[in-house]
Amino acid sequence: MAFMYNSFLQGNDNMLAFIAKGGVLVVPIFICSVLVLAIFCERMIRFALMRSRGAGLAEKVVKALRGGDDGGAMRIAEESKSPMGRILTRAIAYKDQDRETLETVMTHAVDEEVRNLSRYIQALATIGNIAPLLGLLGTVIGMIKAFMVIQQMGGKVNAAVLAGGIWEAMLTTALGLAVALPTMVVHSYLISRVDNYEARLQDGSVTFLTALTRKA
């Protein structure tokens, strides 16, 4: 067991030493990867909570309204603490207004909830664009240093030394791409989830408006 533990620590040390050869720009690339992971986890937790709290909410509120229990419908919407609940809370407050006003209120409420759901997601697109550029910048800086060494040595450079300088310079590009590729995948996935939830919010709004019209 001790041998396996020591081997694990040694392997981690070797990996860190290998990555550190990429230079100072490895640090911001690593920070980018941490931010991506944090944003992804935070959004997934929020989506999971939203789905559990808002399941079937529109139907419950509509049922209460059809039974003439406006106070119960408001209570159900408020206690859900979900995006759909906040939309329906506003809608119930304006239910006695004309339909055009009610639709405007609900549309603005849906747009606001979608903006909240999309929070931080744009940052993923920014990171996906920045990470490879940071890697490329690190490679350019590394290549400049390598050619400066060649100049200082009067052009008499061992091929092994030159190759070592080049692969160390290109390491940051590889790291930047390694961060950017999954970041773009995560960004696309979260955008699709937001679009899906937006469609659900719109469906719930339509259900509410239809029920209110029938009641009238």
List pLDDT tens digits, range 187-201.
Answer: 999 999 999 988 888
Q: Is the pLDDT of residue 74 over 80?
A: yes
Q: Is 15 within the bounds of a domain? A: no
Residue type, 1: M
Among 20, 12, 4, 23, CA closest to 142: 23
Q: Is 115 within the bounds of a domain? A: yes
Q: Is 65 within the bounds of a domain? A: yes
Q: How far apart are CA 149 and CA 34, in angstroms?
A: 34
Q: Choose between 154 and 216: higher pLDDT.
A: 154
Q: Is 6 within the bounds of a domain? A: no
Q: 9 falls in which pLDDT band (50, 70, 90)?
A: very low
Q: Is 24 within the bounds of a domain? A: no
Predicted pLDDT of residue 1 = 44
Residue spans of alpha helices (H) in 55-158 = 57-66, 70-80, 83-93, 99-117, 121-152
Q: 3 falls in which pLDDT band (50, 70, 90)?
A: very low
Query: Domain span at residue 132?
Result: 29-215
Helix (H) or strand (E) holding 176, with range, is: helix 159-215
Q: Is 18 within the bounds of a domain? A: no
Predicted pLDDT of residue 161 = 61
Predicted pLDDT of residue 11 = 45
Residue 76: which residues within 8 A CB-CB, separation 6 or more?
57, 60, 61, 64, 85
Provide the number of structural domains found in the chain: 1
Q: Is 169 within the bounds of a domain? A: yes
Residue 178: which residues within 8 A CB-CB, separation 6 or more?
none
Q: Is 72 within the bounds of a domain? A: yes
